[in-house]
Chain A
Amino acid sequence: MDLLWSNIFRSNNDEESLVGFLERLPVFNELEKRDFKYLENMVHTRTYHAHETIFEKGDPGSGMYIIRSGKVLIFNRNIHDQEQEMAVLGSGELFGETALSSPAPRTFSARTAEATELIGMYRSDLLTTTSKHPAIACRILLGLAKLISDQSQRATIELTALQQRIIKQEQKQQPGTGSSQ
């Protein structure tokens, strides 16, 4: 009897945790509580085996992926077709977000390192949302814009630091070369 009741009132655990998972992501900070019900139907959950290619560099990019569980290897190939590992991403991290707002070929390759569950969010769904639920699309895009601007700011800071270092090295080298002449 107890089992029966628990069966009837069993809420779908898997789906509930999907909403919960999405709510915890910083990208979707701007979204309101009831937006997540919509977001849940907007994203696509895909399961991957270990060592499965998600996309290759140069593939048409049309969306971003959020890692729900598992690990994803981000890499590039050099001239000799050797793989150069760029990053290993884990649960809660996302990649490919630049393709969400503008169609462009992928600039790196991604492959799963272990059995992985990914949540895909695609430009076409976002476009549909902008026409049907502009408010929700606005909040999603705001979060994305924040994420991307954070990234570009961090990149700028790193770039200036590197530039400074190069200038310092050059200055260090120049007195040496000057004295030898």
Chain B
Amino acid sequence: MNISKAHFLLFYLTMTAAIASGLAIFSSATNITMLLQYAASGMFVPLLLALVTSFLLDPVVGSLEKRSIPRTRAIFTVFFCVTTLLFATASWVIPYAQNMWGSLLSDFPRYTEQFLNYVREAQSSWQARLPFLEHYDLSTAAQSNVKQMFSFLLVETPKSAFRLGSLMILVPIFSFFFLRDGNTFMRGLVALAPNRYFEMAHDLSFLISRQMATFVRGRIIEAVIVGAVITVGLHFTDIRYAPLLGLFAGITNLIPYVGPIIGMIPGILIAAVDLGLGGQFWWIVILYILIAQIILDNFILIPVLISRVANLHPLFVILAIVMGGKIYGVLGMIIGVPIASAIKIAFIEVRHYRRAFSLPETGTDRHA
């Protein structure tokens, strides 16, 4: 077979065109994904919060719906009640909270100073015992860290307040539509499955979403109860900022294993600085560790609210916290673990399902 020059030219041209179009498609694809990423960057948090809100409100809406109120009207009723409740609490709490925030900002240097003192003392005692650590200057590192944190607090608080404003608009809208059309979305998504797997996909989506809803609801209620108990317990002492500390403890309680420890650090620090190492200090320590964590959380709340299956291995918890922190900062640390648990729930449900029917491996030896 003779390949003429024309053939060769044609081949050359085709290859060039193919490579060029491939490059163009590739670059436009990366451009488009980057564009999408940029467009969706601010939407992750409101969407997630809206999802959690809709999980929380769904039972209330359902109970209204049971009294044969149409779903949309039921959602509006619930939203109205929640908004009034929030406004009432806000108008009651905000002046108080503002006051507290102002005094906390002026007190903050005092607490950090004391904290640095503790660190310095600890360092000198280490260095006396372990001389080879002489060149490791922990107190300077701690000082710069604390300074950074303080400036971060000062700068980020107004910013996050501004962000909170946009959240207050977006979250209700999103959660309204999640509540109203969530089932339709899921139906549409499941309907994409091929006929042969539709039944399984439909069943699994039901089981997973039910399990997920219980898990999210349980976690939130658990955090609220722990926060409330710590607030009330701290009110028995002379410690300041009890509500703020309770709030902090409640939020950090969303992270298993690590969260409660982080949550009790500011409380114990403030107690040590303001109240000294007296009886009240030890009461606060007992409150944080024994009452809130061991008795309330481990013995009562977790067995009642959250099924044991959703407990993650500590290794995965640490991984989820580190990875979440890499992606979304402090917020990522808080939501990383619940997302990991959600993935685990999905896995567990799939495994349960397959075990219950010992399938689909039996397809090949069905005549055996």
Contacts and interface: CB of A to CB of B under 8 A. Distances in A.
B199 A63 contact: yes
A57 B366 contact: yes
Contact of A44 (B66, B196, B198): B198
Interface residues of B, number: 23
B199 A58 contact: no
A62 B202 CA distance: 9
Interface in B198-236: 198-200, 202-203, 206-207
Given A60-B203, A77-B366, A124-B207, A103 B198 contact: no
B360 A46 contact: no
B191 interface: yes
A54 interface: yes
B360 A59 contact: yes
B359 A60 contact: yes
Contacts of A103: 356
Nearest to B191: A44
Interface string A43-82: 0101010001111111111110000000000000101110
Contacts of A48: 195
Nearest to A82: B367
Contacts of A134: 66
Main secondary structure on chain B at its contact with chain A?
helix
Given A77-B366, A132-B62, A132-B65, A60 B195 contact: no
Contacts of B200: 60, 62
Nearest to A54: B195
A58 B366 contact: yes
A59 to B, nearest CB: 7
A133 B203 CA distance: 20
Contacts of B363: 56, 58
B326 interface: no
A81 B367 contact: yes
Contacts of A57: 366
A120 B198 contact: yes
A60 B357 contact: yes
B202 A56 contact: no
B353 interface: yes
Contacts, number: 69
A52 B195 contact: yes
B289 to A, nearest CB: 40
A52 to B, nearest CB: 6
A133 B66 contact: yes
Nearest to B209: A124
B66 A120 contact: no
Contacts of A60: 199-200, 203, 353, 356-357, 359
Given A56-B366, A58-B366, A124-B203, A131 B62 contact: yes
B196 A53 contact: yes
B41 interface: no
B187 interface: yes
B184 to A, nearest CB: 8
A77 B362 CA distance: 14
A105 interface: yes
Contacts of A125: 206
A5 to B, nearest CB: 30
Contacts of A53: 196
B197 to A, nearest CB: 10
Interface string A153-164: 000000000000
A2 to B, nearest CB: 34
B359 to A, nearest CB: 6
Given A60-B356, A127-B206, 7 more contacts: A60-B200, A61-B199, A63-B199, A105-B359, A122-B206, A132-B66, A133-B66
Can you list the 4 inter-chain pairs with the closest CB atoms, starting with the nearest? A124-B206, A60-B357, A81-B367, A62-B203
21 contacts: A44-B202, A46-B195, A48-B195, A53-B196, A58-B357, A58-B362, A58-B363, A59-B357, A59-B360, A60-B200, A60-B203, A60-B356, A62-B199, A63-B199, A81-B367, A105-B359, A120-B199, A122-B206, A132-B66, A133-B65, A134-B66
